[in-house]
Amino acid sequence: MGASTSDDAGVYRIDRNRALVQTVDFFTPIVDDPFVYGQIAGANALSDVYAMGGRPLTAMNLMGIPTDVVPPKMINAIFRGGASKLKEAKCVLVGGHTIRNPEPVYGMAVTGLVSPRRLITNANAKPGDLLVLTKPLGTGVITTGIKRGLVSSGTIKKAIRCMCHLNAVGATLAERGLVCAGTDVTGFGLLGHLGSLCRASSVGAEIQAGQLPCISNEVKELIVNDCIPGGSRENLKTAAEFVEWSNAMDWQKVLLADAQTSGGLLLCVAPRHLNKVLKILKEARALCAVVIGQIVRSPKGKIRVQR
Ligand code: CO
Ligand code: CO
Ligand code: CO
């Protein structure tokens, strides 16, 4: 599997029972604390393996850093943050590469394993599947708000907890045969990633915007006060091509397009599996487990959003 279905990672079959899952992800700092930045970058890089139903095996660090400005202590803290997430994921760090760069960037290339019969992909969604989201939305709006000094410490804590959380439950659900279509929600926002999934599966979707979970009540307030990152605005423009807004409110549209960092899994769940899936999500301490809509017939991949 390559880029044709816009999946979260590349998949290469080794034999009947095993396939490699390969992905790479990095970004500029989104929080001040270097250790937390490392944790978020680690959780985010690992997520694309989990979003394919795989388990991460090995990882390599990628860093670009202005060594004349950032002290070695801080650089170490970033690496330690990333390593702490690898440890939690039982994934082994096998190397990496650092260059000097005017702006800090950090992330990882991660390799995992998956059974070719137990993959979660964009192309397997079926009409009638329920859409389950495992993390609340709003990291894009909140991190922009942090830069502008508009966010309370309570909300900052919640957003950090959310971005640091591993999406490992994706592998558990895939291994039990409960989910075979889905993705994680990251830079293209919920609608962007759902749009790719719908196109790859030749289906459409209906979203109940009122069901969308937010990291905090401040998210709506921030959006209403025009605290919206550029990436999320771009996502909203792109979404106009495949979304029917119906009676959705303006702030809900922004929330659905908000660029997430280390966001949750968006899973397509057959109704007969829903209770089991919700139970496993609860046991895995998923940050939320909410049905936000469903997959419908629509060969052109239209998404309808209702208030
Ligand atoms: Co992804
Ligand atoms: Co990615
Ligand atoms: Co080298």
Residue intervals of the chain classified under CATH 3.30.1330.10 are 10-117
Cα 104 to averaged position of ligand 3 atoms, centre (Å): 18
CA–CA separation, 271 and 124 (whole Å):
15
Choosing among 3.90.650.10, 3.40.50.12500, 3.40.50.1980, 3.40.50.620, the CATH entry for 120-306 is 3.90.650.10
Residue intervals of the chain classified under CATH 3.90.650.10 are 120-306
Q: What is the number of the ligand closest to the CA of 45?
A: 2
Cα 221 to averaged position of ligand 2 atoms, centre (Å): 28
Q: What is the pLDDT of residues 185-206, one digit of tens each?
A: 999 999 999 999 999 999 999 9
CB count in 10 Å sphere of residue 211: 13
CA–CA separation, 32 and 18 (whole Å):
40
Q: What is the pLDDT of residues 228-238, one digit of tens each?
A: 999 999 999 99
Cα 97 to averaged position of ligand 3 atoms, centre (Å): 5
pLDDT number for residue 1: 80
Q: What is the number of the ligand closest to the CA of 109?
A: 2
Q: Is the pTM of this model over 0.75?
A: yes
Segments of the chain scoring below 70 in pLDDT = none
Letter for the amino acid at 271? P
Q: What is the number of the ligand closest to the CA of 52?
A: 1
Determine whether domain 10-117 maps to CATH 3.40.50.150.
no
pLDDT number for residue 14: 97
